[in-house]
Amino acid sequence: MRQTTGFARLPDGGRIAFAVVGSGPAVVLPAWWVSNVAEDWHFDPLRRFIEGLAAGRMVVRYDRLGTGLSDRERPPETFTPDFEDATLCTVLDELGLERVTLMGISSGACVAVSFAARRPERVDRLVLYGSYADGHALGPPEARTGMIDLVRSHWGLGSRLLADVFGPSWSPGNRAGFTGFQRASADAQVAADLLALTYETDVRDELPRIRAPALVVHREHDRAMRLRGAREVAALLPHADLVTLPGDAHLPWHGDGDAVLRAVAPFLGIKGPSAAASEADAGAVDELSAREQEVLRLVAQGLSDAQIAERLVISPHTVHRHVANILAKLRLPTRAAAAAAAGRAGLL
């Protein structure tokens, strides 16, 4: 699918970058911690996930002020839940969206909750993935302070530590790609201040005020946002169902993203990916040799044959042969299709 981007202007003049994919009733994803709507579109698992949501829907994402393609200057007084709510409202108004479905992911779930509680007439339903009700419960005070200070003083080390929490089962290459993307999406000061906002946000009083039907989805072994937080969210919502999925990846497009799509598809009125197709992909990937799976992981990260050769200390010709064998065994036409199969099989 084709992604289009644009900018919404805040009342004070700051610009918020947004991206739109697909057409139909709007599903809006309030911005999570740090993002870049242009760069993350090149990440195959995320693109496949967004395209899955866009099956009959218009999917809207945006970057918070201070991150991604949005204006990078962010005044200290804007690190508040009220400002995040106003940002979401600005994006919806720019696109002329009066009533939408919100899908809040990670810290974006709190933004979705606040908006739905404050403006019930503008939200028809609510999906919350990897959510929490009280940021103070995400860890002991000394652990939260230590993480914020580490991100602020040593963004490289802080991003690597967060990658270990976000994706405990990731390969070293996946961790390196994730940390590099995070550091490019925001500077250390903004990243630390947004992390502090995550820990300070408490929506327990707003959850019972929501009248829209809600679906809470969470992976059982998510270390960034524990399952008990999702259970609290679902218990406080008046009209919510809770769906738990296996896995430990915090973001929905990592690991088995198709399973998340299948969980939300009936609620959103879209067609989810076939479980049989995903199982066939996983089985086919299991038949690859250990070296072929290693090459496939690097292909899925977007590395060229030359880059893979350098990483694995083999010749580019050998890499080319491995890629050809992978495509043949998986019966796939392109590297992009192989990368998507790797994501569905949980190699990322």
- pLDDT for the residue 46: 93
Number of continuous H segments (helices) and E segments (strands) in the chain: 14, 8
pLDDT digits (tens, 9 = 90+) for 10-68: 998 899 999 999 999 999 999 999 999 999 998 888 999 999 999 989 999 999 999 99
Instruction: Give the per-residue pLDDT at 79.
Output: 97
Retrieve residue 258's tokens.
């198709």
* Bridge partners of residue 60, in order along the sequence: 20, 28
CATH of domain 277-343: 1.10.10.10
The pLDDT value given to residue 207:
98
**Structure tokens that stand for 304 in this block:** 């060229």
CA pair distance 32, 16, nearest whole angstrom: 14
User: What b/e string do you get for 99-128 counting C-beta neighbours within 10 Å, with b at 16 or more?
Assistant: ebbbbbbbbbbbbbbbbbbeeeebbebbbb
Give CA–CA dist 83/63, Å, rounded: 13
Query: How far is 212 from 133, CA to CA, in rounded Å?
Result: 17
Contact present, 227 and 128 (Cβ < 8 Å) = no
Query: Is residue 79 within 8 Å of residue 172, measured between CB atoms?
Result: no
Report helix, strand and coil shares of the chain as percent, to nearest 5: 50, 15, 35
Residue pLDDT, tens place only, 167-176: 888 877 778 8
Number of Cβ atoms within 10 Å of the Cβ of 190: 21
Q: What angle do CA 218, 220, 223 make, to 5 degrees?
A: 90
Helix (H) or strand (E) holding 63: none
Is 159:248 a contact under the CB 8 Å cutoff?
no
Check if the beta carbon of residue 113 is closer than 8 Å to that of residue 105: no
Residue spans of the domains in the chain: they are 3-273, 277-343
pLDDT for 277? 56
Burial of 166 (0-12, 13-18, 19+ CB in 10 A): buried
Q: Which residues pair with 26 in a beta bridge?
A: 58
Which residue shows structure tokens 């949005």? 70
Contact present, 199 and 144 (Cβ < 8 Å):
yes
Alpha carbon of residue 340 to chain centroid: 16
pLDDT value at position 226?
A: 95
Query: Structurally, what CATH architecture does the domain formed by 3-273 represent?
Result: 3-Layer(aba) Sandwich (3.40)
Side chain identity at 133, as an amino acid letter?
A
Q: Which residue, 272, 267, 257, 247, is CA-closest to 46?
A: 257
Q: Which residues of the chain have pLDDT under 70?
A: 275-283, 348
Number of other CB atoms surrounding residue 1 within 10 Å:
12
Contacts of 280 (CB under 8 A, 6+ apart): none
- Mean of per-residue pLDDT scores for the chain: 92
